[in-house]
């Protein structure tokens, strides 16, 4: 199998088109090599590598602005960010960051990038189009991925030191806190939100609870007991469902967001912390960053319709904008998996030389995460 993949990769890279138009990031997937300073550009039309970018820093995180020909990547070891012009195919001068970029999140419009560090703390807001730093908050608490509200003013984050959900007002740069737990040392997931931004969800990984907060009143509206190790909650692209998962037991719970009533419950043989939802919130790819197993759950019939094992252990899973496909990248396999959610088929495209270290799609349907 390994020899076959190596041959496929060689054939793919040897046929890379030098004159391909890269100006529309929505047409491509970008995969950074785990070891080398390269990013492979994969066409979403035929799932083949069409260009390889040689980078001056190692791309630990990659951000593709969907409405401008700009790629941004960061290197945690050098604490630098670089913007890449997809039209001219040239790098900007490195932007030195005052924060180690361990977490990098693009906003809902594709113009702002938030950088945080879950170890030492600190916050940086970059303007992707201007290619510079908007502002820095050096005393920002340690946190993982932040969550942009659709108004592009509020940014939510989990503050594990105080056991609260924080909200940063970008205009005033003030921070408001919503208390979740008064017990020290409990681990909180990154926040997610409902499609209308009315509710924000955070998992307490330590207790197995999921908190639903009303974003306007800033109080806990509902608490769900999921199990031993609650993963980050996921809200579906159509806005109908809230998905909650216990990585320890494999329990998967679907809740209708309108009335917060339980819709379905399934127990899988493997834990789940990666979700990709198909069109009409129906076919769901459920996978894990700690297992090669995957499942497809039909949210209409409420049944498992397909399952199997990937060739590697996923680092991330993203959905296509039309909800037809799920893309999965692996650190330990030099391929990307393409899952057709409508016919439940699985195929692979050869990318990178050593497996994936960073991965993004020019436009995904993962809108509330």
- In tens, the pLDDT along 184-209 reads 889 999 999 998 889 999 999 999 99
Query: pLDDT class for 6, splitting at 50, 70, 90?
Result: very low
Query: pLDDT class for 268, splitting at 50, 70, 90?
Result: confident
Please say if the pLDDT value at position 218 is more than 90: no
Query: For 240-262, what is each residue's pLDDT tens digit?
Result: 999 999 999 999 999 999 889 99
Check if the beta carbon of residue 147 is closer than 8 Å to that of residue 156: yes
DSSP state of 246: B
Instruction: Work out the average pLDDT over 110-124.
Output: 96
242 phi/psi in degrees, rounded to 5: -110, 125
Instruction: Work out the average pLDDT over 30-39.
Output: 98
Between the alpha carbon of residue 192 and those of residues 181, 186, 369, the distances in Å are: 18, 18, 5
Instruction: Work out the average pLDDT over 29-56.
Output: 97
Residue, of 25 and 150, whose pLDDT is higher: 25
Instruction: Work out the average pLDDT over 308-321.
Output: 95
- Enter the pTM of the model: 0.91
The pLDDT, as a whole number, for residue 59 is 98
The pLDDT, as a whole number, for residue 75 is 98
Distance CA 357, CA 359 (A): 7
Beta strands in 217-272 (DSSP E): 219-225, 234-235, 241-245, 251-256, 261-267
Query: pLDDT class for 69, splitting at 50, 70, 90?
Result: very high
Please say if the pLDDT value at position 17 is more than 60: no
Check if the beta carbon of residue 159 is closer than 8 Å to that of residue 113: no
Instruction: Work out the average pLDDT over 283-311.
Output: 94
Check if the beta carbon of residue 237 is closer than 8 Å to that of residue 323: yes
Q: Which two tokens stand for residue 43?
A: 């066409």
% of the chain at pLDDT higher than 90: 81
Distance CA 181, CA 109 (A): 32
Query: pLDDT class for 12, splitting at 50, 70, 90?
Result: very low
Query: pLDDT class for 367, splitting at 50, 70, 90?
Result: low
Instruction: Work out the average pLDDT over 66-89.
Output: 96
Please say if the pLDDT value at position 7 is more than 50: no
H and E: helices and strands count for the chain? 1, 33
Query: pLDDT class for 18, splitting at 50, 70, 90?
Result: low
Which residue, 245, 240, 243, 244, is CA-closest to 256?
240
% of the chain at pLDDT higher than 70: 95
């Amino acid at each position: 199998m390994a020899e076959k993949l190596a041959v496929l990769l060689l054939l793919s890279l040897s046929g890379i088109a030098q004159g391909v138009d890269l100006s529309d990031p929505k047409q491509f997937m970008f995969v950074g090599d785990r070891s080398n300073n390269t990013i492979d550009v994969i066409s979403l039309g035929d799932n083949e590598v069409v260009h390889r970018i040689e980078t001056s820093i190692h791309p630990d995180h990659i951000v593709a602005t969907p409405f401008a020909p700009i790629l941004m990547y960061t290197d945690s070891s050098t604490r630098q960010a670089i913007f890449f012009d997809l039209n001219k195919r040239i790098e900007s001068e490195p932007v030195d960051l005052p924060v180690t970029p361990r977490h990098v999140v693009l906003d809902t419009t594709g113009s702002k990038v938030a950088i945080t560090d879950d170890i030492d703390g600190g916050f940086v807001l970059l303007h992707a189009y201007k290619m510079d730093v908007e502002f820095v908050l050096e005393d920002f608490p340690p946190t993982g991925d932040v969550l942009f509200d659709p108004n592009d003013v509020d940014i939510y984050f989990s503050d594990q030191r105080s056991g609260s959900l924080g909200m940063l007002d970008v205009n005033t740069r003030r921070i408001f806190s919503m208390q979740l737990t008064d017990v020290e040392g409990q681990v909180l997931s990154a926040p997610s939100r409902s499609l209308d931004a009315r509710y924000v969800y955070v998992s307490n990984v330590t207790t197995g609870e999921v908190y639903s907060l009303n974003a306007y009143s800033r109080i806990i509206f509902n608490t769900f007991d999921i199990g031993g190790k609650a993963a980050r909650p996921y809200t579906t692209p159509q806005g109908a469902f809230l998905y909650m998962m216990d990585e320890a037991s494999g329990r998967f719970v679907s809740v209708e967001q309108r009335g917060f009533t339980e819709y379905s419950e399934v127990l899988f043989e493997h834990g789940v912390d990666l979700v990709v939802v198909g069109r009409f919130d129906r076919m769901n790819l459920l996978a894990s960053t700690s297992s090669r197993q995957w499942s497809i759950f039909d949210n209409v019939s409420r049944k498992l319709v397909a399952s199997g094992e990937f060739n590697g252990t996923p680092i991330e899973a993203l959905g296509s904008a039309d909800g037809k496909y799920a893309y999965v990248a692996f650190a330990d396999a030099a391929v990307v998996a393409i899952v057709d959610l409508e016919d439940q088929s699985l195929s692979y495209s050869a990318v990178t030389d050593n497996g994936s270290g960073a991965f993004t799609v020019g436009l995904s349907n993962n809108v509330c995460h």
